Amino acid sequence: MNVLVTGGAGFIGSNFVYYQLKNHPEDKVIVVDKLTYAGNLSTLKPIMDKIVFEKVDICDEKEIDRVFREHKPDVVVNFAAESHVDRSIENPNVFLETNIMGTANMMNHCRKYGDIRYHQVSTDEVYGDLPLDRPDLLFTEETPIHTSSPYSASKASADLLVGAYLRTFGLPVTISRCSNNYGPYHFPEKLIPLMIANALADKPLPVYGKGENVRDWLYVEDHCSAIDLIIRKGKIGEVYNIGGNNEIHNIDIVKMICEKLDKPESLITYVTDRKGHDLRYAIDSSKIQRELGWTPATTFPEGLQKTVDWYLANKDWWEEIISGEYQNYYEKMYGNR
């Protein structure tokens, strides 16, 4: 099978590429990535001879057409996106372009080349948020779409388009909506890697608001195994929620990281809250567990330890990132916060 992975130089996409090579060595993997600030070719360096890499924007009609003609994918897995909520608050437009128009462009080519199987990697953020004081409430696949940020609105728009291509054109599609991932190759603008990098440098650990917001954490390899099951065994037209049942307050995660790195909690600095900050995400993933037999393999304590160990062992990877343009980003986002 020829598997076309967009966004394969990013966090989850690259982990998925590694997962594919390990578990389906007979398949051919084609990676399409524009290499934005979030894409890192060094992540794929050890496996460059085992994959096809195309530096292409998913919005580029001509180039995506060439990629489909040359590499004849059997399945497209669309990870490519602008993915950071804070950046979407600063500059929404690129989110609309990549996350919506890019999705449409990929599906148009799936249609053109014979109704190729298409999987959309979506997010639990399309469901909005849940109250902090109702632990009984979880997002199911039936929860109405109700978004908060330009990022989540762009992802929800893409999901609606995917549904429209199913109903109107009969394109064989699936959608997965996953909770917060963590693990190797996570870009250090996101909570866990940012806190690890700052703590190691004895820099302040900027917690938004009171740190009481809750996220439902899933080790990235478990997200990859779920998507792999969906593209091979999932039912066309279905949405699958993916989550780890690991609801944790942000402040508790930051404290755990301090403890693991033997750093004082006095580094924790409460800063101005994110605009429109979603309070709590919590996923009910019973459908994919029941219908496809998926279960997450990594508990949060194991996963967090593996992640901290990975960042300690791979300083070159992230120090290179935070030494460049990231400095300007950090100053702009956190300088006067």
Tell me the catalytic residues. Answer: 124-125, 151
- Spell out the SS3 assignment of 206-241: EEECCCCCEEECEEHHHHHHHHHHHHHHCCCCCEEE
Output the DSSP codes for 96-125.
IIIIIIIHHHHHHHHHHTT--EEEEEEEGG
Measure the CA–CA gap between 254 and 86, rounded to whole angstroms: 18
Q: Give, as ranges, the residues between 255 and 274 that touch ligand DAU (CB under 6 A).
A: 274
Measure the CA–CA gap between 314 and 304, rounded to whole angstroms: 15
Contact flag: residue 198 with ligand DAU (CB under 6 A): no
Contact flag: residue 138 with ligand DAU (CB under 6 A): no
CB 99 within 8 A of CB 155: yes
Q: What is the closest distance, in whole angstroms, from the C-beta atom of residue 55 to ligand DAU in the complex?
A: 22
Sign of CA dihedral 163, 165, 166, 172: negative
**Number of C-alpha atoms within 13 angstroms, CB side, residue 327?**
5
The site that binds ligand DAU (CB under 6 A) totals a number of residues, namely: 19
Measure the CA–CA gap between 120 and 128, rounded to whole angstroms: 18
Contact flag: residue 225 with ligand NAD (CB under 6 A): no
48 contact partners, CB below 8 Å, separation of at least 6 = none
Of ligand DAU, ligand NAD, none, which one sits near residue 129, judging by CB under 5 to 8 A according to partner kind?
Answer: none
Of ligand NAD, ligand DAU, none, which one sits near residue 207, judging by CB under 5 to 8 A according to partner kind?
Answer: ligand DAU
Contact flag: residue 176 with ligand DAU (CB under 6 A): no
CB 139 within 8 A of CB 282: yes
Contact flag: residue 296 with ligand NAD (CB under 6 A): no
Residue nearest ligand NAD, Cβ-based:
10
Of ligand NAD, ligand DAU, none, which one sits near residue 194, judging by CB under 5 to 8 A according to partner kind?
Answer: ligand DAU
Q: What is the closest distance, in whole angstroms, from the C-beta atom of residue 159 to ligand DAU in the complex?
A: 12
Binding piece for ligand NAD, criterion CB under 6 A, among 65-73, 80-88, 166-174, 201-209: 80-88
Contact flag: residue 78 with ligand DAU (CB under 6 A): no
Binding piece for ligand DAU, criterion CB under 6 A, among 52-60, 105-113, 202-210, 230-238: 202-210
> Which tokens hold the place of 220?
């990235």
Contact flag: residue 181 with ligand NAD (CB under 6 A): yes
Residue in 5, 13, 88, 214 binding ligand NAD, rule: CB under 6 A: 13
Of ligand NAD, ligand DAU, none, which one sits near residue 231, judging by CB under 5 to 8 A according to partner kind?
Answer: none
CB 217 within 8 A of CB 246: yes
> Which tokens hold the place of 32?
């399409």
Q: What are the E-state strand segments in the chain?
A: 2-6, 28-32, 52-54, 75-78, 117-123, 173-178, 181-182, 205-208, 214-216, 218-219, 239-242, 247-249, 268-271
Residue in 35, 96, 161, 271 binding ligand NAD, rule: CB under 6 A: 35
Is 293 strand, coil or helix? coil
Residue in 54, 125, 129, 222 binding ligand DAU, rule: CB under 6 A: 125
Q: Give, as ranges, the residues between 258 and 277 that touch ligand NAD (CB under 6 A).
A: none
Q: 152 vs 298, which CB is nearer to ligand DAU?
A: 152
CB 20 within 8 A of CB 42: no
User: Interface residues with ligand DAU (CB under 6 A)?
Assistant: 83-85, 123-125, 179-180, 190-191, 194, 206-208, 213, 215, 250, 274, 281
User: Interface residues with ligand NAD (CB under 6 A)?
Assistant: 6-7, 9-13, 33-36, 38-39, 57-59, 79-83, 98, 102, 121, 123, 155, 178, 180-181, 187
